Amino acid sequence: MNKKNCRSRLLTVAGVTLFFLSVSSASAQVQIELKPNEKPTGEKKVQSSESRRQIPEASLNCSPEECTWWNALREAADEVRSSRGDKKDRKRFADLLQEGVTKSYNAPIPDRKFTLLAQTFPKYTEAGRRNKISGIITLRVEFLADGTVGKVQLLNQLGSGLDENAVAAARKAVFLPAVKDGKFVSFVTQVVMSFNLY
């Protein structure tokens, strides 16, 4: 395995999705955990982590134009997930979200939290390695209704450039905004990033 290549794994533990990135050449690990604000209600079966990252088919009434837009948005989201956030795929998805806002389309699905499609992992800094810093950075992140990341607040700090890298990584998330009554709405949650040296 090329030492510069990173590999990521997706695990689901007790309803919390954990994203791991192992950097073999530096003997460092960065972990990102999204903590939901509340537990889902009324769900009879546990969804797989993959199905939670998919945008559902239209299940509510929609005009032919809205249905066409929604299907294109779902397809673009699948491309973002497959490419892990390729720049071209991110732009197509963002353009389709903006089209929905401009044309006042409704999301033809029941209310749901935001759907994370792709996450950029923060880089472990040389200063962090030199200072042998390990620990957790917790951020409060606002996922806005327009598909962009709003305010990112550090709830604690590690220093050595790790805080800045954590904030920068959080800002690069690609997601479908939360839906309430057919409209996209903002959603705030905590994101935990764990930096460990081995």
Q: Regarding beta strands 7-13 and 183-185, do their DSSP bridges make them parallel or antiparallel, or are they unpaired?
A: unpaired
Count how many domains the chain has.
1
Least confident stretch, 38-52, 81-95, 144-158, 160-174: 38-52
| pLDDT class of 35 with cuts at 50, 70, 90 | low
- Domain presence at residue 31: yes
According to the model, what pLDDT value does residue 160 have?
Answer: 92
Domain with 83, as residue range(s), is: 7-38+47-197
According to the model, what pLDDT value does residue 182 have?
Answer: 94
pLDDT digits (tens, 9 = 90+) for 11-34: 222 223 333 333 323 334 455 555
CATH number where 185 lies: 3.30.2420.10
Q: Are 187 and 143 in contact (CB under 8 A)?
A: yes
- Domain presence at residue 89: yes
- Kindly report the pTM of this predicted structure: 0.73
Assess whether pLDDT exceeds 80 at residue 36. Answer: no
- Domain presence at residue 163: yes
- Domain presence at residue 130: yes
| Residue 23 CB-half CA count within 13 A | 19
How many CB atoms are located within 10 Å of the residue 31 CB? Answer: 17
What is the distance between the alpha carbons of residues 28 and 108, in angstroms, rounded to a whole number?
43
- Domain presence at residue 106: yes
